[in-house]
Amino acid sequence: MNKAYVIGLDYGSDSVRSVLVDAENGEEISSAVFYYPRWNSGQYCDPLTNQFRQHPLDYIEGLESTIKACLEKAGNPDIAKAVKAISVDSTGSTPVAVDESGVPLALSERFAENPNAMFVLWKDHTAVKEAQEINDHAKKYEPDYLKYVGGIYSSEWFWAKLLHVLRDDQDVRNALYTWVEHCDYIPFLLTGGTRAQDIKRSVCAAGHKSLWSADFGGLPPNQFFAELDPVLDGLVDRLFTDTYTSAESAGTLSEEWANRLGLSTEVVVGVGAFDCHMGAVGGQIEPYYLSKVMGTSTCDMLVAPHDEVGDTLVRGICGQVDGSIIPGMIGMEAGQSAFGDAYAWFKQVLVWPITNLIGESDDISAADKAKITNLIDTQLIPELSKKAEALPVTESSELAIDWFNGRRTPDADQTLKGALSGLHLGTDAVRIFRSIVEATCFGAKSIADRFVEQGIPVKGLIGLGGVAKKSAYIMQTMADVMNMPIRIHKSEQTCALGAAMFAATAAGLYPKVEDAMKAMGQGFEKTYEPRAEMVAIYAKRYEQYKKLGAFIEQK
């Protein structure tokens, strides 16, 4: 292979990261991060109503900033000339309303400050009512249009969010031409698309969130949606029938974007996908290994050969789709709506005095406030983990339920709430933190159990993402609760690296993404093995977790 470079662009919940990678061996040449300024100042969001929206300018500014920074950091103008491809991943389902030319409505002056005209972030749960209506409506139809998404439609997904926005905002409803996932919009933008009908839709997003299936000949028919609500009448005709894997090209850089980024118009832009799907590839997923991308939430990915899966359908997960992770294999997705977010919530509770008392005090200097804030920010979770690890675990220890942002899987229900039980006057911050860690691990076990119960074996775990890399305590607890080893991938940026692997494949540098994965993969740095004495006690506590969860569901 002649010297060639690729760029992986990874859109997360709080920031976007670009990595410039040597396509021959996966070596990271440079990386850059851009934190969304509007999002990070809390604009367009209302956590009390579960509204989380992101302005397209945050994404577009981050795209340009990080890629240009990567090329500048590389320090060699010849590298820019040797960049062959860019691929993109994003959170999902994170769709947006666009006009007939494919431009998000929020980029027009009329809708510039309208949250309904912006990207509806994956964690936005304003469409709980609409999701339930879709679930009830689907029961009237044959075929079962929910069978490939685990049998339950979620408020986090494409159609529920669309229906909510259309009902909520007549101006947006009248201006909207079609509805587009974030991971599909960015490649369209980079390739200079001017017609929304030309957007190449990823099989990843379409199959897992949009009810698309080759078995249905595409999306459910217009009648299905028009009878659900007349505001949806005719929209199917403005959506899509064909889908594409991320190993395929969406086109090449437009002249405008080539000039803005300092790259060639010959640079291939790959079809996008969700971050967890590309992260699984970046983390060198193997058949029947549950690849867990652990960040604010978790996405649990599993691939299996067609002939072995057969007609097996796993109920209550986020779907199983041909080619959604690795072309030629069935990709299965599950996950938890809150993982790192659960720890972040508890951290926010604990730092209330810092923010509201010390932060507003005139007796403490700004410099000292900054020192205190930095100390808390960097040391609180590590110190809680250290103290929690030293505590003995008993059957009567405090117990939590991890549904702080609802439950994604198994059996999506965003109306569910988290819980803490078994509290007493001796319960302190460390014990509560421990119970939350255990709960997130119990939630992970319930996902693995669902796969196994319904005929898909789970041979082991692969840990990816910030939590997997940073918290030995949480990962050891995970291994003990799950009673199976968990391998931690070396790469700090598996999602971006996975995008780079797909970019190399889309550019024709490798015939299959498996070849790119083998050549560019970074391998594993550590394995956490389950400890027999902890497996036994956690097995008993897991039964308590299930009983408490069942009680909460009845309330």
Q: What is the pLDDT of residues 188-205, one digit of tens each?
A: 999 999 999 999 999 999
Residue for token pair 């897991």? 542
Where residue 441 falls among pLDDT bands split at 50, 70, 90?
very high
pTM beyond 0.85, yes or no: yes
Where residue 285 falls among pLDDT bands split at 50, 70, 90?
very high
Q: Over pLDDT 90: what percentage of the chain?
A: 93
CATH node for 5-283+492-522:
3.30.420.40
The domain defined by 340-490+525-554 carries CATH number 3.30.420.40: yes
Question: Cα separation of 550 and 24, whole Å?
Answer: 51
> Mutual orientation of helices 513-520 and 494-506 as an angle, nearest 10°?
130
Mean pLDDT (whole number) for 136-150: 95
Are 290 and 451 within 8 A, CB to CB?
yes
List, for residues 334-376, the tens digit of each pLDDT value. 999 999 999 999 999 999 988 888 888 888 898 988 898 889 8
- Which pLDDT value is given to residue 207? 97
Are 502 and 281 within 8 A, CB to CB?
yes
Half-sphere exposure of 148 (CA within 13 A, CB side): 26
Report the candidate in 450, 435, 434, 524 with the shortest Cα–Cα distance to residue 482. 450
Whether 340-490+525-554 and 5-283+492-522 are alike in CATH topology: the answer is yes
Question: Can you list the pairs that 44-48 forms with residues at least 24 positions away whose Cβ atoms lie under 8 Å?
Answer: 44/115, 44/118, 45/115
Question: Cα separation of 452 and 449, whole Å?
Answer: 5
Are 486 and 462 within 8 A, CB to CB?
yes
Domain residue ranges of the chain, discontinuous segments joined by +: 5-283+492-522, 340-490+525-554
Question: Amino acid identity, residue 313?
Answer: L
pLDDT above 70: residue 1: no
Report the candidate in 315, 314, 317 with the shortest Cα–Cα distance to residue 336. 317
